[in-house]
């Protein structure tokens, strides 16, 4: 006879009350190019951030930090929920700046606090913009729109394709 389960009925894998696995855009079958890649170790925060930006008309992908470090996002903006989740901020930010296609994403970091010292440290480590939690959806949409405008003015887009050329 097998040992008794320590999982409550219904909470076992595949059960009706089992925790949902992390949802990523790859799982949803989305293949479009993104304006913004959201990377947050907290799935709920990452999905909420993505939905706020999608509501403003942005094309958003949600990816794991490990995936981003292995294959940096080819999007104009990379929004990180916590760049220290994979190690020191300097190493993480330098890692996401490397990209085989030669793109240079704007790196926005959502900090856990409004402490100016934390923001300054992340900017010194290589972040382009810092937004403290809790963030305002209106401010997040405005900052992303401003960064995209700046990116498209600096880099341009391939005529008719909307692809970033830098």
CATH of the domain at 137: 3.40.50.2300
Count of domains observed in the chain: 1
- Quote the domain boundaries for residue 48: 25-153
Choose among 112, 69, 119, 116: nearest CA to 94. Answer: 69
| pTM of this structure | 0.69
160 lies in some domain: no
10 lies in some domain: no
Average pLDDT over all residues of the chain: 73
4 lies in some domain: no
63 lies in some domain: yes
Given pLDDT bands bounded at 50, 70 and 90, which one contains residue 11?
A: very low
Torsion of CA 78, 126, 161, 39, to 10 degrees: -10
Q: Integer distance in angstroms from the first to the last C-alpha of the chain? A: 63
Given pLDDT bands bounded at 50, 70 and 90, which one contains residue 34?
A: low
51 lies in some domain: yes
110 lies in some domain: yes
Check if the beta carbon of residue 77 is closer than 8 Å to that of residue 65: no
Higher pLDDT, 162 or 144: 144
Sheet holding 77-80, edge to edge: 60-62, 36-39, 77-80, 106-111, 129-132
């Amino acid at each position: 006879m097998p040992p008794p389960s320590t999982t409550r009925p219904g909470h076992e894998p595949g059960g009706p009350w089992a925790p949902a696995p992390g949802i990523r855009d790859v799982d949803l079958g989305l293949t479009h190019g993104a304006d913004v890649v959201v990377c947050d170790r907290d799935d709920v925060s990452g999905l909420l951030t993505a939905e706020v930006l999608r509501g403003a008309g942005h094309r958003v992908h949600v990816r794991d930090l490990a995936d981003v470090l292995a294959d940096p996002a080819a999007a104009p903006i990379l929004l990180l929920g916590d760049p220290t989740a994979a190690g020191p901020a300097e190493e993480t930010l330098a890692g996401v700046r490397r990209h085989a296609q030669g793109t240079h994403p704007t790196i926005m970091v959502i900090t856990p606090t409004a402490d100016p010292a934390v923001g300054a440290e992340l900017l010194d480590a290589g972040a382009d913009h810092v937004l403290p939690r809790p963030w305002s959806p209106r401010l997040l949409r405005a900052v992303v729109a401003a960064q995209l405008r700046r990116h498209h003015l600096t880099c341009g887009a391939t005529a008719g394709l909307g692809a970033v050329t830098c």
